[in-house]
Chains A and B, each alone.
Chain A
């Protein structure tokens, strides 16, 4: 550590030693009463959200919808397997090289000048 840095640190420390100390602020009165009210509200809100969600889930209509949705997703997954097979077949189509080989044609040997 250089002398300059050390003196800067010392200066800063001296400055803060002369600074007035701060006293701790006190919480406004009846904090616990207000907290209890907030806690009750929060618990009530949490319960109502959970209950509502659960009640909706066990309704016959909702259960039927979830079941149908699940089956549809499964069907879509299985249906999508089919195009994969077609895709692999498509990938076997003749490439440019195969074409050139079949027709005895190369780009390098082709004369581009107008006849």
Chain B
């Protein structure tokens, strides 16, 4: 079973949503910490995706040639 692929675009959308919630004041103060943590985790994953070679993709690309 392949795990669900992390999507940079989806992550950015979610981060944007968190920012909107914080900026609009809709977010409950008690949930703030959780959302901030989630956003920074997503950012970390995005940055990792830009810089870390994923074996899965490399293998597919090797087979394609």
Tell me whether A and B are bound partners. no
Residues of B within 8 A of A (CB): none
Residues of A within 8 A of B (CB): none
